[in-house]
Structure 1
Amino acid sequence: MADRVDVRMPLLAAAAWSAGLAAQLLALSAVVAAGLGALLVALAVALRRPDRATTVAAVVLVAAAVGCSAAVRAEQTGANPVAELARERAAVTVIGTVVADPRPVEGRFADRVLTRLDVHEVTGRGATTRLSTPVLVLGDGPWAEVRLGSTVRAGGRLDTAEGHDLAGVLVAGDPELLAGPGPWWRGADAVRTSIREAVEHRPPAQAALVPALVTGDDHLLDEELEEDFRTTGLTHLLAVSGTNLTLVVGFLLLLARWCGVRGRGMYVVGALGIAGFVLLARTEPSVLRAAVMGSVALLASGVHALQRGFRALGVAVVALLLVQPGLAVSPGFALSVLATAGILVLAPVWRDAMARWLPRWAAEAVSVPLAAQLACTPVVAALSGEVSLVAVAANLVVAPAVGPATVLGLAGGLVGLVVPAAGALLGTGAGWCVGWIVAVADRGADAPTAAIGWGTGPTALALLTVLCLVLALALRGVLARPAAAVAVAVVLGLVVLVRPPTPGWPAGDWVVAMCDVGQGDALALRSGPGEAVVVDAGPDPGAVDRCLDDLEVDRVPLTVLTHFHADHVDGLAGVLDGRAVGAVEGTSVLDPVGGVEDARAAAAVAGLPVRTATYGTTRRVGEVTLQTLWPRPGSAAGAVGEEGDAANDASVVLLAEVRGVRVLLTGDLEPPGQAALARAVPGLRVDVLKLPHHGSRYQDLPFLASLGAGVVLVSVGADNDYGHPAEEVLDPLAGAGAEVRRTDEDGDVLVSVTEEGIETHTRR
């Protein structure tokens, strides 16, 4: 007999979630009014249907409990002495326990370290108070050495924090260690370290991914790999999720069964496994959420799976929101709940439909990632503005490797504590498994139509939600028929692998192209049919490669790297991939050293050196005339702008002319360099200006305005952390009559020349 779903717990979960959203998004008075309204509705229903009175009362009680919990937590963090001192921006000394692993982050002016403290004691404004409240710490290098669970004393200045889960932000001085972490944390650290050591001999991507897959330890991952995982819908593998817990605890339960454990002993093993997993992955809210959702998945296995799973999911949602009401507005929480619900509701139906013509294990392998992805699609689109077309296929293909990689990685860490050589052997197996996952992410992200843009407005998301619901209802019939299922898979494969033509792209008369490569620069000057001079390569080889393919560029007589920051040089391999490249040139200031080495390594693969662009030279490259205006010999040494360094002010500045259009390419030149360039080349006028440093607010505006550019190009990443581009820079240029085009809003941009003059074309 099919499971009959008891909807009472899901109903309570919905009530708890609604109350949590109201508490986070509405004023207290509005929440109280909504609560009174719900109470009146409950009374009316109870009077009309006494048999449902208990359920209605439970719904109201749960909603009220979550609302009260939110109010209490907001009061605890917003009205305690630390919050009051934060509002006064007071200098304080605190004593607290480190409750999150310190994490280095790149700052605008210097690298910093982020962590969290549970503050036990605060001294400020002449008073000392004992309490317990969370504070975000922003510190310098020594904070990176502080271990989770340590008790420290630190001085600094408090500031206010956004949200209800922090009492303040402490810009801290160096920490003073008062006590080290306890034995449980030391043991967990030893295992995490052993996991990293078990795979450190593997290639960098594998050595970074195994710890991320097993314990969420992702600090070794590079941005390019993370972007590939986002594009292919594999991001959940880089963070702690319910899947991780299910695999780890499931493996422990299997070992226990082999060892003869039965009955209640299995529950003990499961509970110990969950506790050990939480210690390894850290007791942060995301980890606790993952542990709860993984427990739901374990409970949903076996007989009466749907009924038990739904009941467990409802209990989990209510419990989590009672403890942490702020999860109601957390995208991660929404994705976890929706993925679990999709697997519970949709996967079994689709599995049974496909099991008519596929082996059951194959039907299960297809249905689970498909159900989770479809359930999460509207939320993912709201967060990213994209709908991944390769996500289901990518998750399906990597699924056989995820379990072995997780288990082997954990086993390598545990065994490595005793026999390092054996741990390294197991780590090699884990590395082989994640090597396959990395390859799938890389190839999938490079697919011509890996993802399609989707709006994030209410109408677009409502339409997407309706489409997902229609698909959820229709797919059972499609998947039950092998011919229909295969036909749909073939069509989807063609859509992903074959880029649809863009009418009129590229424009036949284009002279300059600005590629959308995120937060970075990559531009092309058309030097002839099928060829272009490329200036900078952006941060991502795949992005610049895609752009040049779309421009039908297969020959690059010259590549110029204006300077060696990662957002200008890391994509060089994409320029070189499959193209005839004549030469690679860069600035004379070899800073930063890492960027120089990366650029040289990428060029060496193509048998090319990185030569130095010669100041003052004018040359003809096909239809492009290039003049190197900057840096003058010795002029950039030690130059530091307000938001930059010597590398920025050493940017190669090129004046190009293509079919009569004068273009100034400025790299990341800072105000001191701009002022020096204005003195060196007085009276300079151009038609097109590539705005320096992604539109940073630090500019020599009189100089830029004096250029008289009719088109201003801004290469900038959407939602970047630097505040680029600055409106105080764009507005004066636009006010002077310039047409401003920016990649974060317009995508790829072409500048073409016609009989009527200069035109721009854009493509998202």
Structure 2
Amino acid sequence: MAAPALLCWAVAATLVTSGANAALVVALVCVLAAGIAARRPSVAVLAITVAAIAASCAWRLNAIEHSPVTQLAAEHRIATLDVEVRRDATTFQQHGQESIVVELLVRRVVSRDMDVRTRDRVTAFIDGSADDLVVGRRLTIIGRLAPSDATDEAAVIDVVRRGPTDRASWWWEVSETVREGVRTSVERTADEPRALVPALVDGDDSRVSDEVKEDFRRAGLTHLMAVSGTNLTIVLAVLLVVGRAVGVRRRGLWVLGAVSIVGFVILARPDPSVVRAAAMGAVGVAALGYGHRGGVRALAWAIIALLFIDPWLSRSAGFVLSVCATAGILLLAPVMVRPLLRWMPRWCALAIAVPLAAQLACTPAIAAISGQVSLVAVVANLLAAPAVAPATVAGLLGGLVALVSPPLAHVVGFVAGAAASWILEVGHRAASLEAASLAWRAPWQLLLVVVPTVAWAIVRISARPVLFGGIALGLLVAIWRPPHPGWPPESWLMVACDVGQGDATVLNVGDGTAVVVDAGPEPAAIDRCLDRLDVHHIRLMVFTHGHADHVDGWRGVVRGRQVDQVAVGPTGGPGARPHVAVPGETFTVGAIAAEVLWPPRSEPLPVTDGSSANNVSVVLAVRVHGVRILLTGDIEPEAQARLMLQHPELSAEVMKMPHHGSARQSEAFLDAVGASIVTVSAGVDNDYGHPAAKALAMLRERGAEWWRTDTDGDIAVVLRDGRLLVATTQ
């Protein structure tokens, strides 16, 4: 069934964007092919399965294309709708107030000339709180409809008025009660474990911080926060062990497993990711009963069934990764386990082979989706694995106990929180490693050759314990402390850190001490840069302005380091009691002498384009060992012109280019500064087009040399024998 499953996948991915008529034609052609090939069962099965998928696509697309809700959306009409909450709402900030986006199922739509019943999926944007928008509850809304870009929903609704919600069916209400119990059981633990445990148990990651999400992504642990096959497998394993202990036998265990899967789907919500996890859990149960060959057959049928139920899963990144991971565990893990069993216990061999097989199988897909290849995912999963089951099981048990006794639930929740704390520690530590992930800029298809070759080499090496252990240890050391010959270079004055689409500049005071200007958008990147420079003491931390790409990485600066003082501009920044920098203020730290040139004490500049927050960035004129450095924040032409008027003598040998090298630069300002060395801090393939070709052309015309963090990595300005040099990590 592997070939039909893969063909069905390709057909579904194509047809969901091709329209109902195209899908209907494919279905009819496949039915005819099945009739012609009736005497060849393998061909007939292939044609029938593809016909079923095509028919599902045709039926669903036709329903959406001819829906009255779709017609109203095309006319941007206002309508009254009776809706049911289909998925948990997501909260976001818009114009300073809390808003929510939620997926709804429309049961009835009423407009000026229409009153019909329907079952269409829509996405709604609503102002206010999401507390009562529980899956399964019904309410009435009034809103303006607009066409949706997604082919699997009828409209997008801007809600102008909403009514109260009615209670949902009893199973949804019980599910919400248990979910609330999980949150109650861990409410007395620390912030991060309190947010992570609900994510492990039922996929509720609404309280997980962006920092944790980013660290888990780099560490290859994101699957733990989303409801995945791992979560379901843990719950199933515990229930099956308990069932076996009380005398339940083979058929009874299958029934118990099926009931557990249904209950888990209700608890974690029937989102596509949860349904996918349930299917992969069923595949795991099949593999337990029939071996890995039966598991592969079950996986193929699961793919076909899921695509028949929801053809749009074919384009879901989560679906791709789930199938790849399950296939890797079923096909590759047994091959990897056999040589390991010659010299280690079975449990240890499985602990190594399973995450390694899953990671290898997922690597091409991850590279295609994110452009990165994780190097620490296997180790991070090995270290986190012992705590995942206790955190998940204790969290679920705490949610059940909370229904009876909240104080007793807190005791159980403490166990879940302690286990979650270990997972968080692993995630943070793994993400902070410099080589946690590598950018993959080659075609991802190349990995279809590289990964099997690596897998073959691992199988051959794993039969030799000394060689296997030596190579594994060498890789761990290389990831922990990757070689950077000559980094940091001797006599470095300034380093522009590669922190992605953001700014972070380090000025060298000496002996592991530095001044840091801005911290980038996320903690791990600036933390790694400071580690590479062996900086453990920050004499002064300056935040030029309050935008996220300059301040959100501040936790990475303070991680394991002493910070003496924090200075901010008028737009503020992190820190308990930051000092507000004012123009004319000077400070001296070791050989560094700096003066605040900007912003003025007056009101923020009016601008016709760009951001007033950018134009009140703190601008520093730094002199270190006789070298003049200008750090410009994100000031734009309006502020650049005023700065030149207030400081006619403005000039520097080194300049951090304003606003990541955007096109909004003043040629007169660049002439006045006259820098021969310019650093540009920008993220790889960023959405802003930074640095702009126009800005780089301005530098070229003035004979300035520039280096970019997106292509050069960390950029160090070095003073050697009276000459300024530049060194980079790439």
Cα deviation code 1:470-514 (max 9, x no counterpart): 233343332233223222322222222221124x64455654422
Give the 3 Å change call, closer, same or farther, for CA 86–675 of structure 1 in structure 2. farther
Structure 1 residue runs of 5 or longer lacking an equivalent are 1-8, 601-608
Residue 415 in structure 1 maps to residue 401 in structure 2 = yes
Give the 3 Å change call, closer, same or farther, for CA 714–281 of structure 1 in structure 2. farther
Cα deviation code 1:712-756 (max 9, x no counterpart): 655445577xx43568xx344234235675544553334557899
Which of 642, 649, 652 is the aligned partner of 2:618? 652
Displacement of 1:400 after TM fit?
1.8
Aligned ranges 1:423-438 → 2 under 5 Å: 423-438=409-424
Residue 81 in structure 1 maps to residue 68 in structure 2 = yes
Aligned residue in 1 for 2:8: 16
**Which one is further off, 62-71 or 355-364?**
62-71
Aligned residue in 2 for 1:405: 391
Cα deviation code 1:594-617 (max 9, x no counterpart): x54xx22xxxxxxxx643324312
Cα deviation code 1:327-383 (max 9, x no counterpart): 112111011111111111122232232222211122222211111111111111222
Q: Using the alignment, how far apart are the partners of 1:662 and 1:77 within structure 2?
A: 64
Check conservation: 2:682, 2:690, Cα contact below 8 A: no
Displacement of 1:645 after TM fit?
7.3
Aligned residue in 2 for 1:733: 695
Give the 3 Å change call, closer, same or farther, for CA 43–715 of structure 1 in structure 2. farther
Check conservation: 1:90, 1:125, Cα contact below 8 A: no
Which of 489, 498, 509 is the aligned partner of 2:472? 489
| SS at 2:164 equivalent | strand
Residue 71 in structure 1 maps to residue 53 in structure 2 = no
Give the 3 Å change call, closer, same or farther, for CA 511–122 of structure 1 in structure 2. farther
Displacement of 1:448 after TM fit?
3.6
Cα deviation code 1:375-412 (max 9, x no counterpart): 11111122222222221111112222211211111011
Displacement of 1:568 after TM fit?
3.4
Q: Using the alignment, how far apart are the partners of 1:155 and 1:223 within structure 2?
A: 33
Give the 3 Å change call, closer, same or farther, for CA 201–372 of structure 1 in structure 2. same
| SS at 2:242 equivalent | helix
Displacement of 1:285 after TM fit?
0.9
Which of 523, 534, 542 is the aligned partner of 2:516? 534
Residue 627 in structure 1 maps to residue 595 in structure 2 = yes
Q: Using the alignment, how far apart are the partners of 2:407 and 2:560 within structure 1?
A: 41
Cα deviation code 1:197-240 (max 9, x no counterpart): 10111111211111111111111111222222112211111110
Give the 3 Å change call, closer, same or farther, for CA 122–754 of structure 1 in structure 2. farther
Cα deviation code 1:75-124 (max 9, x no counterpart): 33344333344344444443311111111134587653221111223345
Counterpart amino acid of 2:699?
G
Give the 3 Å change call, closer, same or farther, for CA 70–543 of structure 1 in structure 2. same
**Which one is further off, 325-334 or 171-180?**
171-180
Cα deviation code 1:167-199 (max 9, x no counterpart): 222222342225232222111111111101101
Give the 3 Å change call, closer, same or farther, for CA 269–134 of structure 1 in structure 2. same
Which of 724, 727, 732 is the aligned partner of 2:688? 724
Aligned ranges 1:371-390 → 2 under 5 Å: 371-390=357-376
**Which one is further off, 224-233 or 258-267?**
258-267
Which of 311, 321, 339 is the aligned partner of 1:335? 321
**Which one is further off, 271-280 or 470-479?**
470-479
Residue 500 in structure 1 maps to residue 492 in structure 2 = no
Aligned residue in 2 for 1:606: none
Displacement of 1:35 after TM fit?
8.1
**Which one is further off, 660-669 or 22-31?**
22-31
| SS at 2:288 equivalent | coil
Cα deviation code 1:617-660 (max 9, x no counterpart): 23444444422123334635x989977676x6654222334566
Q: Using the alignment, how far apart are the partners of 1:744 and 1:166 within structure 2?
A: 38
Check conservation: 1:196, 1:211, Cα contact below 8 A: yes
Displacement of 1:758 after TM fit?
7.2
Give the 3 Å change call, closer, same or farther, for CA 564–126 of structure 1 in structure 2. same
Q: Using the alignment, how far apart are the partners of 1:30 and 1:750 within structure 2?
A: 57
Give the 3 Å change call, closer, same or farther, for CA 189–33 of structure 1 in structure 2. closer
Which of 611, 619, 625 is the aligned partner of 2:579? 611
Check conservation: 1:675, 1:700, Cα contact below 8 A: no
Q: Using the alignment, how far apart are the partners of 1:665 and 1:160 within structure 2?
A: 46
Structure 2 length normalisation: TM-score?
0.88
Q: Using the alignment, how far apart are the partners of 1:393 and 1:191 within structure 2?
A: 33
Aligned residue in 2 for 1:604: none
Aligned ranges 1:536-615 → 2 under 5 Å: 536-553=518-535, 556-564=538-546, 567-576=549-558, 583-587=564-568, 589=570, 591=572, 596=574, 599-600=575-576, 610-615=578-583
**Which one is further off, 387-396 or 210-219?**
387-396
Aligned residue in 2 for 1:146: 133
Counterpart amino acid of 1:559?
M
**Which one is further off, 622-631 or 435-444?**
622-631
Check conservation: 1:20, 1:66, Cα contact below 8 A: yes
Counterpart amino acid of 1:656?
V
Q: Using the alignment, how far apart are the partners of 2:230 and 2:534 within structure 1?
A: 42
Counterpart amino acid of 1:500?
P
Counterpart amino acid of 2:375?
L
Structure 2 residue runs of 5 or longer lacking an equivalent are none
Give the 3 Å change call, closer, same or farther, for CA 452–131 of structure 1 in structure 2. same
Aligned residue in 2 for 1:350: 336
Q: Using the alignment, how far apart are the partners of 2:73 and 2:690 within structure 1?
A: 29
Displacement of 1:531 after TM fit?
4.9
Check conservation: 1:639, 1:649, Cα contact below 8 A: no
Aligned residue in 2 for 1:321: 307
Q: Using the alignment, how far apart are the partners of 2:304 and 2:196 within structure 1?
A: 33
Q: Using the alignment, how far apart are the partners of 2:76 and 2:659 within structure 1?
A: 32
Identity %: 42
| SS at 2:456 equivalent | helix
Which of 77, 87, 104 is the aligned partner of 1:100? 87
Q: Using the alignment, how far apart are the partners of 2:728 and 2:584 within structure 1?
A: 33
Q: Using the alignment, how far apart are the partners of 2:180 and 2:253 within structure 1?
A: 29
Displacement of 1:663 after TM fit?
4.1
Check conservation: 1:714, 1:725, Cα contact below 8 A: no
Q: Using the alignment, how far apart are the partners of 1:443 and 1:567 within structure 2?
A: 22
Check conservation: 1:412, 1:427, Cα contact below 8 A: yes
Counterpart amino acid of 1:635?
E
Q: Using the alignment, how far apart are the partners of 1:337 and 1:709 within structure 2?
A: 56
Counterpart amino acid of 2:586?
T
Displacement of 1:566 after TM fit?
5.2
Counterpart amino acid of 1:77?
I
Aligned residue in 1 for 2:171: 184
Aligned ranges 1:504-515 → 2 under 5 Å: 505-508=487-490, 511-515=493-497
| SS at 2:129 equivalent | helix
Check conservation: 2:20, 2:57, Cα contact below 8 A: no
Aligned residue in 1 for 2:455: 472
Q: Using the alignment, how far apart are the partners of 1:329 and 1:440 within structure 2?
A: 31
| SS at 2:399 equivalent | helix
Q: Using the alignment, how far apart are the partners of 1:295 and 1:37 within structure 2?
A: 32
Displacement of 1:673 after TM fit?
6.0
Displacement of 1:319 after TM fit?
0.4
Counterpart amino acid of 1:297?
G
Which of 131, 136, 139 is the aligned partner of 2:118? 131
Aligned residue in 2 for 1:206: 193
Displacement of 1:296 after TM fit?
0.8
Which of 633, 644, 652 is the aligned partner of 1:667? 633
Q: Using the alignment, how far apart are the partners of 1:687 and 1:87 within structure 2?
A: 58
Which of 498, 504, 513 is the aligned partner of 1:516? 498
Check conservation: 1:104, 1:144, Cα contact below 8 A: no
Count the aligned residue pairs: 725
Aligned residue in 2 for 1:156: 143
